[in-house]
Amino acid sequence: MREVARSSDVVEVREQAFAKELEKTQKELEKTQEERKKYEMLRKHLQEEADQARLKRLQEEQLRQKQLEEEARRQLALKDAALREDQERKLAQLEGNLKGVYEQKQQELHFEAENTIQGLLSHGIQQVTEAQQALDHIVSPSMIGGVRQLGGLSMRACYGRFGL
């Protein structure tokens, strides 16, 4: 009995040791599970922070891209304005040159027309002068007498032919 009692004590001690060991293992298991939960929470938290950091980087990149696009648009608008201004300046210069050429051509045509008119007037005056001289010559006293004599001779010749 003693052996049984001892054996029972040994079993009881072993059961108590086993129970303590089991309790200790369960506590370690609970502690490990809590640490696992903490680890999972920490991992999730770190993942969320990483996602937020990635999102923030993306937003910053988008903002930077938008700023670059705006700067490019601004530069393009400045270049466009400068090009337009240069073209307008060249157009104004070309218009000025064309006006000068047009005025010069107009002046040349005007001079040519004046010269033509003066030439025609001069020729007309010369012809009128020549006609006047011819008339003056025709109506001069010596010419009138000669024409009368010729006319009289012609008339007598005409009368003579017809027997008058």
Which residue, among 134, 114, 111, has the nearest Cα to 122 in the 3D structure? 114
Contact 143, 137 (CB under 8 A): yes
Residues whose CB is less than 8 angstroms from the CB of residue 88 and which lie 6 or more positions away in sequence, other chains included: none
Orientation angle between helical segments 2-138 and 141-162, nearest 10 degrees: 70
pLDDT for 162 beyond 60 = no
Q: How many domains does the chain have?
A: 1
pLDDT range class, residue 155, cuts 50, 70, 90: low
Give the residue, 153 or 82, on which the prediction is more confident: 82
Write out the residue range of the structural domain in which residue 6 sits. Answer: 2-162
Against a cut of 0.75, is the pTM above it? Answer: no
Which residue, among 38, 59, 39, 66, has the nearest Cα to 51 in the 3D structure? 59
